[in-house]
Structures are given as C-alpha cells and as structure tokens.
Amino acid sequence: MLLMNYFVEGVPPIDEWAPEDVQRHIQFQHDLGAELVARGEFVDGQGLAWPATAKLVRSDGVSDPVVTDGPFPESKEFLAGYWTVDVEDEARAIAIAATASAAPGPGGAPMQQVFEVRALMEAPAPVE
C-alpha cells in the first residue's frame, strides 16, 4: 500500500493552486493509474476528504461509541490518500511511489511528496 502524505514543505495546499496546475496534477494521477491498470498492478486508490471532516471513534463494545471531531485543522501533515498495488516485490512498490512522488505541483515542478510504502499483512488462519 502506498500511503500519500499531504504536506510538502514549500508547496501550498492544492485548493490554492492555479486551475491549470490542479488539472496537470490530476491528469498525472489518472495517467499513472491507467499505467498500473494496464500492467495488472492496480488494486485500488482513493483520495481522502480533508481532515476537518474526520471523526475519531472509540468504543468499549458495550456503551455507545464516543465520537469526536479530529484531527485538528491546524495539523499540517495528514493522510491525503492511498494506492493499493499488487506487485512482485518491494522494489517495484518503491519505484511506483517514486514516480507518484514526482507528480507535478505548482508551475509543473515535481512535488517530491512523501509516500509511505507498507506491505499488507495476511490474516492468520481462523482458530478452530
């Protein structure tokens, strides 16, 4: 799974970009996604809503859950989205993350966005 961090030092939030910069960035994402589909590597990918819309949920399994707003809007770093890919090895996942990291930002310059690459765990066999 490629986890996309939002904050990039020196790059304003995407809602402050010029429309042509947003279009260039989104087209890059679509093109990369199409390449991954063509290679049979794409499983899923989604952008996430702004953190201000997030809810934190905690439950003891008995009482009503406790639901709070969060994370706080002043937080600079947050998960912007993810791509799940099915690849042969970690090196290929890193290569995809490196390509995605270089997505164009304002003025077309590579963003150098940080991606966290993590393998998905397989569930243990059920206890019989």
- Tens of pLDDT, residue by residue, the chain (128 residues): 999 988 888 899 888 999 999 999 999 999 999 999 999 999 999 988 888 788 888 999 999 999 988 655 555 667 889 999 999 999 999 999 999 999 999 999 999 999 999 999 888 888 88
E strand residue ranges, the chain: 2-5, 42-47, 55-58, 66-69, 79-85, 115-117
Query: Which H or E run contains 38?
Result: helix 19-38
Q: Is 78 exposed, middle or buried (0-12, 13-18, 19+ CB in 10 A)?
A: middle
Distance CA 116, CA 81 (A): 11
Q: Which residues of 99-127 are buried (b: 16+ CB within 10 A; e: fewer)?
A: ebbebbbbeeeebebebeeeeeeeeeeee
Q: What is the pLDDT of residue 91?
A: 96
